[in-house]
Amino acid sequence: MYRSREHRVIAGVCGGIAERFGMPPTLVRLLFLLSCLLPGPQFVIYLIMWIFIPVAPPRTYY
């Protein structure tokens, strides 16, 4: 799994999750924002993913 280069707003974490599971990035962002209304460590998990998940390698077109 990689952080997205194309679908990034802040760090590309939600975009990378969306690309991995074939979902629209907007839907993943909306689900993340809705999950922040619930108690839990969502923001901390996002920060950890931002640190440890690498950015997707650049695409090369031949």
Amino acid letter, 52 = F
| Per-residue pLDDT tens over the stretch 11-49 | 999 999 999 999 999 999 999 999 999 999 999 999 999
- Please say if the pLDDT value at position 61 is more than 90: no
Amino acid letter, 3 = R
**SS3 state at 36:** coil
The C-alpha atoms of residue 42 and residue 60 are separated, in whole angstroms, by: 34
The C-alpha atoms of residue 17 and residue 43 are separated, in whole angstroms, by: 15
The C-alpha atoms of residue 29 and residue 45 are separated, in whole angstroms, by: 14
